[in-house]
């Protein structure tokens, strides 16, 4: 059965470790020892989608993208 | 031990072969005799004949049925890849014949480009006509350009191809052949460095913003034969999942590296023509190059040469590199040298890769030469690998961790000896080939 899932992906070339994403979405993102975000939960649950969207929009490097995939 | 020729065919002692001989006979290398350095267009056509005029649908079906997979390293199904490039209806695609071959231990692309350029160019022609491409570009290091240029000119004189072939020089870097790095070189935008392709691949948006097929030159050479003889012929050799033959560059077994063509599916022992006794003088076999993995000798000998078996062993056939490491060499100093090289070859664009590889390089060097200073032991190195994997724009960091993880596993006795008794005093080596690296000032980010 196919369903839509919302994934959060980071462009590691664009990302410079600003950290605003981990601040806004700690449920899915944490910062590694070097100061770069680790996306722990790529598949974003429905109740976090608003926060995820805000995190993506707030990235100063526009390195974070929400993508919809059919699985 | 005496040099032994396996069932795979190696090019130095080659005899003329029947092109369509029994299982085990060479296919791609059938036209290449030791006396001939380059097979010209006349000889090529004499042996193989002209390409049949095939419709796009029938060549795509034939490729799907053949089960051919990419020999550049990823082993991705070729038919699937071609179909995804063809999906665009508004833009005509670009074909890139990729012979950048940044892998220091690999020489098979070089052999094909210098010796059998028309087989490669035939494959590119098949791709161009199947996908309706408007451009064909050969992407090769500077040293390969003269041979490929004269082959292209021969074909031009003969009026062989409907789409003209361009040649673009690949920089001398490990990552030059990475799909998006090749596209960036051709677009002359951030040449030799990969792009982030997580949201849009080069198959959709590549050279000149067109859908782009980047295909390794060996893969294209196989395509040239599948177009002529069909998928059933192709499948006469190999296994259902890994059909056909593969070119392997074998290092460490003979005084000089050699390139052999081996039927897939044969046990590696048979491919290399190694007796059990001979196998005993090696401590491990590296399969898949510096982004591949080490396999213990005993397992390697019984392992069939298939991508599935390689992956079960935490490795991959990758670009067909097989390197054997003699027992008396310090495996950890070899591994450390390679990791340093790989670190130096990172594009320097992604934070987790830049920082992660610098840390791994330091840990592996410490383990090799000052093991008493290694803090946290190998578990810390493995945790470090966990942190790096899947976090680069390309797979370079993942390749390095695969190489390191497999080394720690396969050479675990030697690791223990370094940790308990200090570094070994072996002065033999270096064995694994590493080009002299011109240390250039890194563009991109600094290590934090």
- What's the full length of chain B, in residues? 448
Between B350, B387, B448, which is nearest A13 by CB?
Answer: B350
pLDDT at residue number B156: 96
> Beta partners for B94?
B135, B212
DSSP, collapsed to helix, strand or coil, labels residue B115 as helix
User: For residue B301, what are its two tokens?
Assistant: 């000998």
Mean pLDDT of B297-311: 96
Residues of B with CB under 8 A from a CB of A: 195-196, 198-199, 349-353, 355-356, 387, 391-393, 445, 448
Check pLDDT > 50 for residue B314.
yes
Enumerate the residues of chain A whose CB falls inside 8 A of the CB of residue B199: 9, 11, 65, 67
Q: Do B273 and B414 share a domain, yes or no?
A: no
Test A33 with B352 for CB contact under 8 angstroms: no
From residue B170, give the alpha-carbon distance in Å to each of B49, B101, B125, B160, B285: 31, 9, 21, 25, 29
pLDDT at residue number B194: 98
Work out the pLDDT band at A41, boundaries 50, 70, 90: confident
Mean pLDDT of B300-312: 97
pLDDT at residue number B7: 44
Q: DSSP letter for B243, please.
A: B
Q: Do B310 and B350 share a domain, yes or no?
A: no
Work out the pLDDT band at B242, boundaries 50, 70, 90: very high
**pLDDT tens readout for residues B115-132:** 999 999 999 999 999 999
Residue found by looking up tokens 């975000």 in the block: A37
Which residue from B minimizes the CA distance to A10?
B198
Q: Do B125 and B153 share a domain, yes or no?
A: yes
Check pLDDT > 50 for residue B441.
no
Chain A nearest-CA distance from B194, in A, is: 9
DSSP, collapsed to helix, strand or coil, labels residue B1 as coil
Mean pLDDT of B21-25: 49
Q: Do B351 and B314 share a domain, yes or no?
A: no
Q: Which of B23-27, B59-63, B169-173 has the lowest mean pLDDT?
A: B23-27
Mean pLDDT of B290-314: 97
Residues in contact with B42: Cβ distance below 8 Å, sequence separation at least 6, in sequence order:
none
Q: How many CB atoms lie within 10 A of CB B210?
A: 20
pLDDT at residue number B182: 98
Work out the pLDDT band at B37, boundaries 50, 70, 90: confident
b/e B302-322 (16+ beta carbons within 10 angstroms → b): ebbbbbebbeebbbbbbbbbb
Work out the pLDDT band at B26, boundaries 50, 70, 90: confident
User: For residue B321, what are its two tokens?
Assistant: 């590199």
Work out the pLDDT band at A31, boundaries 50, 70, 90: very high
Which residue from B minimizes the CA distance to A68?
B199
Q: Do B197 and B286 share a domain, yes or no?
A: no
Test A35 with B351 for CB contact under 8 angstroms: yes
Mean pLDDT of B431-445: 67
Domain of residue B295, residue span = 245-326
Enumerate the residues of chain A whose CB falls inside 8 A of the CB of residue B356: 34
pLDDT at residue number B148: 97
In a domain, B439, yes or no: no
In CATH, A4-70 is 3.40.50.2300:
no
Higher pLDDT residue, B420 or B427? B420
pLDDT at residue number B437: 63
Mean pLDDT of B209-227: 98
The CATH number of the domain holding residue B406 is 1.20.1440.230
Check pLDDT > 60 for residue A70.
yes
In a domain, B440, yes or no: no
Which residue from A minimizes the CA distance to B444?
A13
From residue B114, give the alpha-carbon distance in Å to each of B131, B144, B145, B149, B246: 26, 7, 9, 10, 18
pLDDT at residue number B338: 98
Which domain-ending residue is among B200, B234, B268?
Answer: B234
The CATH number of the domain holding residue B20 is 3.40.50.11540
Work out the pLDDT band at B91, boundaries 50, 70, 90: very high
Enumerate the residues of chain B whose CB falls inside 8 A of the CB of residue A38: 387, 391
Q: Do B24 and B165 share a domain, yes or no?
A: yes
The CATH number of the domain holding residue B298 is 3.10.20.600
| Upper half-sphere CA count for residue B39 (Cβ side, 13 Å) | 23
pLDDT at residue number A1: 52
**pLDDT tens readout for residues B161-190:** 999 999 999 999 999 999 999 999 999 999
Between A9, A12, A16, which is nearest B352 by CB?
Answer: A12
Check pLDDT > 60 for residue B439.
no
Q: Determine what percent of chain A is predicted with pLDDT higher than 90.
A: 79
For chain B, the average pLDDT equals 91
Q: Are B274 and B301 in contact (CB under 8 A)?
A: yes
Chain A nearest-CA distance from B340, in A, is: 20
Which residue from A minimizes the CA distance to B358?
A34
Q: How many domains does chain B have?
A: 3
Q: Do B357 and B322 share a domain, yes or no?
A: no
Surface-to-core class of residue B46, CB atoms within 10 Å of its CB (0-12 exposed, 13-18 middle, 19+ buried): exposed
Between B199, B387, B391, which is nearest A12 by CB?
Answer: B391
Enumerate the residues of chain A whose CB falls inside 8 A of the CB of residue B448: 17, 34-35
Q: DSSP letter for B227, please.
A: H
Test B356 with A34 for CB contact under 8 angstroms: yes
Residues in contact with B196: Cβ distance below 8 Å, sequence separation at least 6, in sequence order:
A11, A12, A13, A14, B393
Q: Which of B52-56, B69-73, B115-119, B385-389 has the lowest mean pLDDT?
A: B52-56
Mean pLDDT of B257-264: 94
Chain B nearest-CA distance from A12, in A, is: 5
The ipTM value here is 0.93
Q: Do B176 and B251 share a domain, yes or no?
A: no
Chain B nearest-CA distance from A34, in A, is: 7
Work out the pLDDT band at B436, boundaries 50, 70, 90: confident
In a domain, B8, yes or no: no
Test A9 with B198 for CB contact under 8 angstroms: yes
Q: Do B76 and B194 share a domain, yes or no?
A: yes
Work out the pLDDT band at B142, boundaries 50, 70, 90: very high
Work out the pLDDT band at B446, boundaries 50, 70, 90: very low
> Beta partners for A6?
A68
**Strand stretches in B71-147, DSSP E:** 94-98, 135-141
Per DSSP, the residues of B317-374 read -TTTEEEEEETTS-HHHHHHHHHHHHHHTS-S--HHHHHHHHHHHHHHHHHHH-GGG-
- Helices (H), ranges, B238-330: 268-272, 276-279, 297-302, 307-312
């Amino acid at each position: 059965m196919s369903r839509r899932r919302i994934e959060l992906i980071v462009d590691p070339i664009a990302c410079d470790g600003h950290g605003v994403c981990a601040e806004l979405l700690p449920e899915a993102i944490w910062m590694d020892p070097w100061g770069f975000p680790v996306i722990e939960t790529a598949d974003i649950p429905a109740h976090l989608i608003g926060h995820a969207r805000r995190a993506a929009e707030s990235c100063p490097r526009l390195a974070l993208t929400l993508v919809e995939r059919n699985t | 031990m005496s040099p032994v020729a396996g069932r795979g065919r190696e090019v130095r002692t080659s005899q003329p072969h029947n092109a369509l001989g029994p299982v085990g006979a060479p296919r791609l290398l059938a036209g290449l005799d030791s006396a001939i350095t380059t097979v010209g267009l006349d000889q090529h056509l004499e042996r193989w004949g002209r390409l049949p005029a095939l419709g796009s649908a029938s060549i795509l079906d034939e490729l799907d049925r053949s089960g051919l997979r990419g020999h550049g390293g990823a082993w991705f199904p070729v038919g699937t890849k071609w179909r995804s490039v063809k999906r665009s209806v508004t833009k005509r695609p670009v074909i890139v014949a990729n012979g950048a071959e940044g892998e220091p231990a690999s020489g098979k692309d070089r052999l094909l480009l210098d010796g059998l350029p028309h087989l490669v160019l035939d494959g590119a022609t098949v791709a161009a006509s199947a996908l309706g491409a408007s451009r064909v570009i050969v992407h090769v290091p500077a040293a390969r350009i003269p041979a490929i240029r004269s082959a292209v000119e021969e074909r031009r004189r003969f009026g062989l191809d409907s789409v003209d072939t361009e040649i673009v020089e690949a920089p001398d870097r490990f990552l030059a052949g990475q799909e998006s790095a090749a596209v960036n070189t051709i677009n002359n935008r951030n040449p030799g460095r990969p792009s982030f392709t997580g949201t849009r691949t080069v198959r959709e948006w590549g050279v000149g913003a067109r859908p782009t097929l980047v295909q390794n030159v060996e893969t294209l050479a196989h395509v040239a034969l599948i177009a002529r003889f069909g998928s059933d012929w192709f499948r006469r050799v190999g296994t259902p999942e890994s059909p056909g033959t593969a070119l392997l560059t074998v290092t460490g077994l003979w005084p000089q590296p050699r390139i052999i063509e081996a039927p897939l599916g044969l046990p590696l022992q048979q491919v290399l023509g190694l007796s059990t006794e001979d196998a005993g003088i090696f401590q491990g076999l590296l399969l898949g190059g510096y982004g591949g993995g080490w396999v213990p000798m005993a397992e390697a000998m019984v392992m069939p040469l298939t991508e599935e078996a390689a992956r079960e062993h935490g490795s991959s056939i990758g670009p067909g590199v097989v390197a054997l490491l003699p027992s008396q060499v310090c495996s950890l100093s070899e591994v450390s040298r390679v990791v340093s090289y790989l670190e130096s070859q990172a594009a320097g664009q992604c934070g987790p890769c830049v920082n992660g590889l610098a840390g791994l390089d330091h840990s592996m060097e410490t383990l090799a030469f000052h093991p008493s200073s290694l803090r946290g032991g190998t578990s810390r190195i493995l945790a470090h690998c966990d942190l790096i994997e899947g976090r680069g724009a390309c797979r370079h960091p993942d390749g390095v961790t695969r190489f390191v993880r497999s080394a720690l596993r396969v050479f675990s006795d030697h690791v223990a000896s370094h940790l308990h008794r200090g570094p070994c005093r072996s002065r033999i080596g270096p064995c694994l080939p590493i080009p002299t690296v011109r240390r250039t000032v890194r563009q991109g980010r600094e290590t934090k």
